[in-house]
Structure 1
Amino acid sequence: MSGALVMLMPFIWMLLTSFKAPDEIFSSELRFLPENWYILENYTEAVTRTPLLQFLLNGVIVTIAIFLCQIAVAVPAAYAMAKLRFRGRKLMFAAVLLCLLIPPHAVAIPWYLLMYQFGWLDTYMALVAPFSISVFGIFLMRQFFMTVPNDLIHAARMDGFSELAIVWRVMLPTAMPALVSFGIFSIVAHWNDYFWPLIVLNSPDYYTPPLGLVSFRNDDTGNDYGPLMAAATIVITPLVVAFLLAQKRFIEGITLSGMK
């Protein structure tokens, strides 16, 4: 319980700061609860000073597009490496494990040059395309598919299912816990991504939520912490709600994916 409280303390402090007036935020006296509640003012300014709702919509579009692309690649690839027998299967899986060791920042420059050559800078494509393939997703789904009995696949083949039909009509529904687990990882990572959108975007029309929060920084007067914390609370709320709704499936997916 105490460990959970320590982990939650920054979020609790962020929430309480979003309730305070500016003079209380910069007060030398430490207080958890505000004397004068400043909720309406901070949250109204957070929504009206910048097009925060547009930033949230951009974040939804980008994270969902990335996730769907990743699933379209990860599920068939994972099925092939888990259940099909072909030459080079182990080498391919070793390549997947090797790619897990490469941080995204290490390939940022080649990605940027590729986006420039395609003319995709400052578009949704620049945000989605580099992350459309997830080696972590392939690894996680492959580990889950290893736990699926081969008899289920043999029965599907006897019923006349093609390999693609087995992937999408048999394996995908079976792998729903792993799919939810991967979805949480993917959406949280790309919803909170600040580095890559900062490089490829110039127009505020395509800003994602983390870039939108930078709008509350003022080089002359400093950060406006009340509206900033209010905007940050709004930004992380969808992630918290999504995790709370999917936490049972998330735990199942992580647990079952490590059985083999």
Structure 2
Amino acid sequence: MDGSQGRKTRQVVAAIAAGGKVGRQKDLLACGHSEWSLRQAVKAGMIMRIAPGYYALPDADPLDLHLARHQARKTCFSKAAELGLWILNPVPQPHVAAAHGRPVPGCKVHRVKGGQTLMDILRQCVGCGSELEALAVLESAVVLKQCTVHELRTAFSRRGDGAARAVIAMIDPQSQSIVETAARYLLKKVGYNVQGQASVWGVGHLDLLVEGILGVELDGEKYHNTPEGWAEDLRRDNLLVINGVWKLRIPAAVVLYNPDLMLLWVERALDRIETASPR
């Protein structure tokens, strides 16, 4: 393979890699690659033709290969997870988009024609998930700067988008994690006033401040189970006591998998604060 041929086949490989290791011939041709370059890359063993009109790298994910063979691709929560957005609950089946709308073994099919934008994927999440699941995805899209709240409002301005607009109204761009998003949502749903990332002088920001008097710190293992994280937690806890701020420290697992316990702790802590407050 001469220099020009080698360069063109490498460009094909790079294009397929950029698209997730599986590519449609239609898309590759639209980007300026030729059928000849595709055939040469297959001949050289650099890519595989896995179905009519579909090519893949040798190390492509088996699920992506399965979808390509059925002329489908990831969408909804499955695509949102691939984009790094916050997914509250893993989906039991991959959600896939297919123009033909026919069943794809082991998958939930969305009938979708043409390409999909981020807003298309977010719209599917709103339609498929609970309000909290939709909030986690949409809020993370804003927090991770994949879109803005204004862009969401513009995209979901149609008559049938009331549920999405209700979710958008709950978004806090200051949220630091899916655990914070879930805790804030659950506490507000039962009627508490909740402020995210509340500033306390000398301490920094509390994850949540409930009713203006109870701080809530939400502990995930990734940060807090380290010597540095533990030392910072002790520093903050001591300063909160000095500042007269009541605080609960709630594990992420409780928020996500036993939220009733979190609500009980908050209720009892607020009752205790009320009892202890001078009349």
Is the pair's TM-score, using the shorter chain for normalization, greater than 0.5? Answer: no
Q: Which has the higher strand share?
A: 2
Q: TM-score, normalised by structure 1?
A: 0.23
Higher helix share: 1
